[in-house]
Amino acid sequence: MQLALFITCFNDTIFPQTGRAMVQVLERLGHRVEFPQAQTCCGQMHFNTGYQREAIPLVRHFVETFAPYEAIVAPSASCVGMVREFYGRVAEISGDRRLAADVAALTPRVYELSEFLVHKLGVEDVGAYYPHRVTYHPTCHSLRVLHLGDAPLRLLRKVRGIDLVELPNAEQCCGFGGTFAIKNADTSMAMLGDKLRCVLDTRAEVCASADNSCLMHIGGALHRQRAGAHILINLRRDARRGKRKRLGHRQIPQHLRQRQPAQLRRASFAIGHLPQSQEDIQDHAQEHHARHDLAQVGQVRTRRRQADPGVFSQCKHMRQLSEARSSAVGWFRPPAS
Protein backbone atom coordinates (compact mmCIF):
# COMPACT_ATOMS: atom_id res chain seq x y z
CA MET A 1 0.00 0.00 0.00
CA GLN A 2 1.27 3.44 -0.95
CA LEU A 3 1.10 5.67 2.12
CA ALA A 4 1.69 9.37 2.69
CA LEU A 5 3.09 10.68 5.95
CA PHE A 6 1.18 13.73 7.15
CA ILE A 7 3.66 14.85 9.79
CA THR A 8 1.67 17.90 11.05
CA CYS A 9 3.46 21.19 11.66
CA PHE A 10 3.70 20.63 15.43
CA ASN A 11 5.63 17.38 15.04
CA ASP A 12 7.66 18.62 12.09
CA THR A 13 8.84 21.63 14.07
CA ILE A 14 9.33 20.23 17.57
CA PHE A 15 9.28 16.41 17.45
CA PRO A 16 10.65 15.26 14.06
CA GLN A 17 11.81 11.96 15.61
CA THR A 18 8.16 10.94 15.74
CA GLY A 19 7.88 11.02 11.95
CA ARG A 20 11.09 9.03 11.54
CA ALA A 21 9.84 6.36 13.95
CA MET A 22 6.52 6.16 12.09
CA VAL A 23 8.21 5.60 8.75
CA GLN A 24 10.44 2.85 10.11
CA VAL A 25 7.51 1.01 11.70
CA LEU A 26 5.35 1.21 8.58
CA GLU A 27 8.17 0.21 6.24
CA ARG A 28 8.99 -2.78 8.41
CA LEU A 29 5.36 -3.84 8.02
CA GLY A 30 5.88 -3.85 4.24
CA HIS A 31 4.45 -0.50 3.16
CA ARG A 32 6.03 2.24 1.09
CA VAL A 33 5.82 5.60 2.80
CA GLU A 34 6.24 8.92 1.00
CA PHE A 35 6.58 12.39 2.47
CA PRO A 36 4.93 14.99 0.21
CA GLN A 37 7.22 18.00 0.42
CA ALA A 38 4.40 20.40 -0.43
CA GLN A 39 2.37 19.67 2.71
CA THR A 40 1.62 22.55 5.08
CA CYS A 41 -0.57 23.22 8.12
CA CYS A 42 -3.99 21.55 8.11
CA GLY A 43 -5.62 24.80 9.23
CA GLN A 44 -6.81 23.65 12.65
CA MET A 45 -5.38 26.65 14.48
CA HIS A 46 -7.11 29.05 12.09
CA PHE A 47 -10.42 27.23 12.25
CA ASN A 48 -10.47 26.93 16.06
CA THR A 49 -9.66 30.60 16.63
CA GLY A 50 -12.38 31.96 14.37
CA TYR A 51 -10.44 32.43 11.11
CA GLN A 52 -12.49 29.89 9.21
CA ARG A 53 -12.34 31.59 5.83
CA GLU A 54 -8.57 31.92 6.16
CA ALA A 55 -8.45 28.13 6.50
CA ILE A 56 -10.01 27.59 3.07
CA PRO A 57 -6.73 27.87 1.06
CA LEU A 58 -5.05 25.45 3.49
CA VAL A 59 -7.84 22.92 3.08
CA ARG A 60 -7.70 23.22 -0.69
CA HIS A 61 -3.92 22.78 -0.66
CA PHE A 62 -4.15 19.74 1.62
CA VAL A 63 -6.62 18.03 -0.70
CA GLU A 64 -4.45 18.72 -3.76
CA THR A 65 -1.29 17.48 -2.03
CA PHE A 66 -2.62 14.20 -0.63
CA ALA A 67 -5.18 13.23 -3.28
CA PRO A 68 -2.93 10.69 -5.10
CA TYR A 69 -2.34 8.45 -2.05
CA GLU A 70 -4.24 5.37 -0.91
CA ALA A 71 -3.92 6.32 2.75
CA ILE A 72 -2.66 9.34 4.66
CA VAL A 73 -1.30 8.57 8.15
CA ALA A 74 -0.50 11.12 10.85
CA PRO A 75 0.87 10.90 14.42
CA SER A 76 -1.78 13.32 15.72
CA ALA A 77 -5.38 12.61 16.61
CA SER A 78 -5.91 16.37 16.84
CA CYS A 79 -4.97 17.17 13.23
CA VAL A 80 -6.65 14.05 11.84
CA GLY A 81 -9.77 15.07 13.72
CA MET A 82 -9.63 18.47 12.04
CA VAL A 83 -9.40 16.89 8.59
CA ARG A 84 -12.11 14.30 9.09
CA GLU A 85 -14.63 16.28 11.10
CA PHE A 86 -14.27 19.91 10.01
CA TYR A 87 -12.95 19.95 6.43
CA GLY A 88 -16.49 19.39 5.21
CA ARG A 89 -17.62 22.47 7.14
CA VAL A 90 -14.79 24.57 5.66
CA ALA A 91 -15.70 23.40 2.15
CA GLU A 92 -19.31 24.37 2.84
CA ILE A 93 -18.23 27.86 3.97
CA SER A 94 -16.18 28.26 0.77
CA GLY A 95 -19.20 27.58 -1.45
CA ASP A 96 -16.98 25.51 -3.76
CA ARG A 97 -18.85 22.34 -4.74
CA ARG A 98 -15.79 20.78 -6.32
CA LEU A 99 -13.80 21.30 -3.13
CA ALA A 100 -16.62 19.75 -1.13
CA ALA A 101 -16.60 16.68 -3.39
CA ASP A 102 -12.81 16.35 -3.17
CA VAL A 103 -12.92 16.64 0.63
CA ALA A 104 -15.61 13.97 0.84
CA ALA A 105 -13.47 11.63 -1.27
CA LEU A 106 -10.24 12.25 0.65
CA THR A 107 -11.16 12.43 4.33
CA PRO A 108 -12.05 8.71 4.77
CA ARG A 109 -8.44 7.89 3.77
CA VAL A 110 -6.88 9.98 6.55
CA TYR A 111 -5.89 8.00 9.65
CA GLU A 112 -4.24 8.48 13.01
CA LEU A 113 -1.32 6.05 13.37
CA SER A 114 -2.72 3.69 16.01
CA GLU A 115 -6.08 3.69 14.23
CA PHE A 116 -4.38 2.77 10.95
CA LEU A 117 -2.35 -0.04 12.50
CA VAL A 118 -5.13 -1.64 14.55
CA HIS A 119 -8.33 -0.96 12.61
CA LYS A 120 -7.08 -0.73 9.02
CA LEU A 121 -4.16 -3.19 8.96
CA GLY A 122 -5.27 -5.42 11.82
CA VAL A 123 -1.82 -5.21 13.44
CA GLU A 124 -1.37 -5.01 17.21
CA ASP A 125 2.09 -6.48 17.74
CA VAL A 126 4.73 -4.39 15.95
CA GLY A 127 7.67 -6.16 17.63
CA ALA A 128 8.32 -3.55 20.30
CA TYR A 129 10.24 -4.10 23.55
CA TYR A 130 10.13 -1.47 26.29
CA PRO A 131 10.94 -2.65 29.86
CA HIS A 132 9.41 0.23 31.80
CA ARG A 133 6.36 1.07 33.89
CA VAL A 134 4.09 3.06 31.57
CA THR A 135 0.72 4.77 31.86
CA TYR A 136 -1.35 6.01 28.93
CA HIS A 137 -3.18 9.35 28.61
CA PRO A 138 -5.99 9.24 26.02
CA THR A 139 -6.35 12.67 24.44
CA CYS A 140 -9.64 14.49 23.94
CA HIS A 141 -9.50 14.34 20.13
CA SER A 142 -8.68 10.63 20.13
CA LEU A 143 -11.61 9.89 22.47
CA ARG A 144 -14.29 12.37 21.46
CA VAL A 145 -13.58 13.19 17.82
CA LEU A 146 -11.96 10.13 16.25
CA HIS A 147 -13.37 7.60 18.74
CA LEU A 148 -10.18 5.53 18.67
CA GLY A 149 -11.35 3.48 21.62
CA ASP A 150 -8.63 1.20 22.94
CA ALA A 151 -6.53 1.06 19.75
CA PRO A 152 -3.45 2.71 21.35
CA LEU A 153 -3.80 0.52 24.43
CA ARG A 154 -4.00 -2.62 22.31
CA LEU A 155 -0.66 -1.69 20.78
CA LEU A 156 0.86 -1.00 24.19
CA ARG A 157 -0.36 -4.27 25.67
CA LYS A 158 1.58 -6.17 23.00
CA VAL A 159 4.87 -4.44 23.84
CA ARG A 160 7.22 -6.97 25.41
CA GLY A 161 8.60 -6.18 28.84
CA ILE A 162 6.19 -3.31 29.50
CA ASP A 163 4.43 -2.77 32.83
CA LEU A 164 1.28 -0.97 31.69
CA VAL A 165 -0.73 0.63 34.48
CA GLU A 166 -4.15 2.26 34.22
CA LEU A 167 -4.33 6.04 34.56
CA PRO A 168 -6.99 7.20 37.06
CA ASN A 169 -9.60 9.56 35.56
CA ALA A 170 -7.99 8.93 32.20
CA GLU A 171 -10.74 10.61 30.19
CA GLN A 172 -10.24 13.99 31.85
CA CYS A 173 -8.60 16.65 29.67
CA CYS A 174 -4.99 17.59 30.47
CA GLY A 175 -5.79 21.29 29.91
CA PHE A 176 -3.78 21.89 26.74
CA GLY A 177 -6.35 22.39 23.99
CA GLY A 178 -4.01 24.31 21.68
CA THR A 179 -4.65 28.04 22.04
CA PHE A 180 -6.91 27.30 25.03
CA ALA A 181 -3.80 26.91 27.19
CA ILE A 182 -2.74 30.44 26.19
CA LYS A 183 -6.09 32.21 26.32
CA ASN A 184 -7.20 30.50 29.54
CA ALA A 185 -3.89 29.84 31.24
CA ASP A 186 -5.21 29.66 34.82
CA THR A 187 -7.92 27.16 33.94
CA SER A 188 -5.46 25.17 31.86
CA MET A 189 -2.98 24.92 34.73
CA ALA A 190 -5.70 23.83 37.16
CA MET A 191 -6.70 21.02 34.80
CA LEU A 192 -3.06 20.11 34.32
CA GLY A 193 -2.59 19.87 38.09
CA ASP A 194 -5.37 17.31 38.32
CA LYS A 195 -3.84 15.30 35.47
CA LEU A 196 -0.38 15.35 37.07
CA ARG A 197 -1.75 13.95 40.32
CA CYS A 198 -3.27 11.06 38.41
CA VAL A 199 -0.04 10.40 36.47
CA LEU A 200 2.11 10.46 39.60
CA ASP A 201 -0.31 8.23 41.53
CA THR A 202 0.43 5.43 39.06
CA ARG A 203 4.15 5.56 39.96
CA ALA A 204 4.85 5.16 36.25
CA GLU A 205 8.26 5.99 34.82
CA VAL A 206 6.72 7.11 31.53
CA CYS A 207 3.50 8.76 30.38
CA ALA A 208 2.58 7.90 26.77
CA SER A 209 -0.09 9.33 24.48
CA ALA A 210 -1.13 9.63 20.85
CA ASP A 211 -0.74 13.43 20.70
CA ASN A 212 2.63 15.07 21.24
CA SER A 213 0.96 18.41 21.97
CA CYS A 214 -0.67 17.01 25.12
CA LEU A 215 2.55 15.21 26.05
CA MET A 216 4.50 18.45 25.78
CA HIS A 217 2.00 20.08 28.14
CA ILE A 218 2.21 17.25 30.67
CA GLY A 219 5.95 16.73 30.26
CA GLY A 220 6.75 20.38 30.87
CA ALA A 221 5.03 20.25 34.25
CA LEU A 222 6.68 16.95 35.19
CA HIS A 223 10.07 18.42 34.35
CA ARG A 224 9.49 21.58 36.38
CA GLN A 225 8.42 19.52 39.39
CA ARG A 226 11.38 17.11 39.01
CA ALA A 227 8.81 14.37 39.41
CA GLY A 228 11.03 11.52 38.21
CA ALA A 229 8.50 10.49 35.57
CA HIS A 230 8.86 11.68 31.98
CA ILE A 231 6.96 11.55 28.71
CA LEU A 232 7.45 9.24 25.76
CA ILE A 233 7.27 11.43 22.67
CA ASN A 234 6.06 8.60 20.49
CA LEU A 235 4.46 5.60 22.10
CA ARG A 236 5.90 3.45 19.29
CA ARG A 237 9.42 4.91 19.24
CA ASP A 238 11.05 1.68 20.45
CA ALA A 239 9.02 -0.45 18.06
CA ARG A 240 11.24 0.69 15.22
CA ARG A 241 14.18 -1.31 16.52
CA GLY A 242 12.50 -4.62 15.78
CA LYS A 243 14.51 -6.43 18.42
CA ARG A 244 14.83 -6.69 22.16
CA LYS A 245 17.38 -4.15 23.19
CA ARG A 246 17.91 -3.28 26.82
CA LEU A 247 17.83 0.37 27.65
CA GLY A 248 20.61 2.10 29.55
CA HIS A 249 19.00 2.69 32.91
CA ARG A 250 18.38 -1.05 33.34
CA GLN A 251 22.14 -1.43 33.76
CA ILE A 252 22.17 1.11 36.60
CA PRO A 253 22.40 -0.35 40.12
CA GLN A 254 19.07 -0.57 41.92
CA HIS A 255 19.95 1.83 44.73
CA LEU A 256 20.88 4.56 42.23
CA ARG A 257 17.85 3.87 40.04
CA GLN A 258 15.48 4.39 42.94
CA ARG A 259 17.08 7.67 43.88
CA GLN A 260 17.28 9.40 40.49
CA PRO A 261 15.71 7.31 37.72
CA ALA A 262 14.86 10.03 35.22
CA GLN A 263 18.09 12.03 35.59
CA LEU A 264 20.31 8.98 35.21
CA ARG A 265 18.28 7.73 32.28
CA ARG A 266 18.80 11.07 30.52
CA ALA A 267 22.51 10.86 31.23
CA SER A 268 22.83 7.43 29.63
CA PHE A 269 20.93 8.47 26.47
CA ALA A 270 22.20 12.01 25.98
CA ILE A 271 25.88 11.16 25.72
CA GLY A 272 25.25 8.42 23.20
CA HIS A 273 26.48 5.39 25.15
CA LEU A 274 25.50 3.28 28.13
CA PRO A 275 27.31 3.57 31.48
CA GLN A 276 29.36 0.44 32.12
CA SER A 277 30.28 0.83 35.78
CA GLN A 278 28.98 2.33 38.99
CA GLU A 279 31.77 4.94 38.90
CA ASP A 280 30.72 6.02 35.40
CA ILE A 281 27.12 6.32 36.51
CA GLN A 282 28.01 8.46 39.52
CA ASP A 283 30.17 10.71 37.34
CA HIS A 284 27.29 11.19 34.90
CA ALA A 285 24.91 12.00 37.77
CA GLN A 286 27.32 14.60 39.19
CA GLU A 287 27.76 16.16 35.76
CA HIS A 288 24.00 16.30 35.35
CA HIS A 289 23.57 18.21 38.61
CA ALA A 290 26.36 20.65 37.70
CA ARG A 291 24.76 21.40 34.36
CA HIS A 292 21.32 21.67 35.92
CA ASP A 293 22.66 24.31 38.32
CA LEU A 294 23.99 26.28 35.36
CA ALA A 295 20.59 26.03 33.71
CA GLN A 296 18.98 27.41 36.86
CA VAL A 297 21.36 30.36 36.77
CA GLY A 298 20.37 30.88 33.15
CA GLN A 299 16.72 31.16 34.18
CA VAL A 300 17.65 33.87 36.70
CA ARG A 301 19.54 35.62 33.93
CA THR A 302 16.43 35.61 31.73
CA ARG A 303 14.31 37.21 34.45
CA ARG A 304 16.94 39.88 35.07
CA ARG A 305 17.13 40.69 31.37
CA GLN A 306 13.36 41.13 31.22
CA ALA A 307 13.47 43.44 34.26
CA ASP A 308 16.36 45.63 33.05
CA PRO A 309 17.75 44.85 29.55
CA GLY A 310 20.28 47.72 29.70
CA VAL A 311 22.01 46.52 32.86
CA PHE A 312 22.06 42.93 31.61
CA SER A 313 23.73 43.82 28.32
CA GLN A 314 26.63 45.35 30.25
CA CYS A 315 27.18 42.34 32.49
CA LYS A 316 29.96 40.20 31.01
CA HIS A 317 29.77 37.63 33.78
CA MET A 318 26.10 36.91 33.09
CA ARG A 319 26.81 36.52 29.37
CA GLN A 320 29.35 33.84 30.24
CA LEU A 321 26.75 32.05 32.32
CA SER A 322 24.37 32.30 29.38
CA GLU A 323 26.86 30.49 27.18
CA ALA A 324 27.29 27.82 29.84
CA ARG A 325 23.54 27.40 30.01
CA SER A 326 23.36 26.94 26.25
CA SER A 327 25.94 24.17 26.50
CA ALA A 328 23.94 22.55 29.29
CA VAL A 329 20.76 22.58 27.25
CA GLY A 330 22.59 21.14 24.26
CA TRP A 331 23.89 18.33 26.46
CA PHE A 332 20.35 17.04 26.97
CA ARG A 333 19.63 16.69 23.27
CA PRO A 334 19.50 13.07 22.06
CA PRO A 335 22.21 11.97 19.63
CA ALA A 336 21.39 12.39 15.95
CA SER A 337 20.15 9.19 14.38
Return the pLDDT at 1: 81
Pinpoint the alpha helices (H) of 239-315: 254-259, 261-270, 278-307, 309-313
Concatenating the DSSP letter of every residue in 25-37 gives HHHHTT-EEE--T
Phi, psi of 147 (to 5 degrees): 55, 55
Ramachandran class of 169: left when φ > 0, alpha when ψ lies in -120 to 50, beta otherwise: left
The Cα 164–Cα 135 span in angstroms is 6
Cβ neighbours of residue 326 closer than 8 Å, sequence gap 6 or more: 298
| Distances 223 to 7, 117, 217, 282, 330 between C-alpha atoms, Å | 26, 31, 10, 21, 16
Return the pLDDT at 229: 64
Return the pLDDT at 303: 52
Return the pLDDT at 182: 86
Bridge partners of residue 135, in order along the sequence: 165, 207
pLDDT digit string (tens) for 213-240? Answer: 999 989 888 888 776 666 665 444 444 4
Return the pLDDT at 297: 47
pLDDT digit string (tens) for 240-274? Answer: 444 433 333 333 334 333 433 343 233 222 222 33
In this prediction, the residues of the chain whose per-residue pLDDT falls under 50 are 234-278, 280-281, 284, 288, 291, 294, 297, 300-302, 304-305, 308-335, 337
Calculate the dihedral angle through the C-alpha atoms of 294, 295, 299, 302, rounding to the nearest 10 degrees.
80
Ramachandran class of 41: left when φ > 0, alpha when ψ lies in -120 to 50, beta otherwise: beta
Return the pLDDT at 58: 97
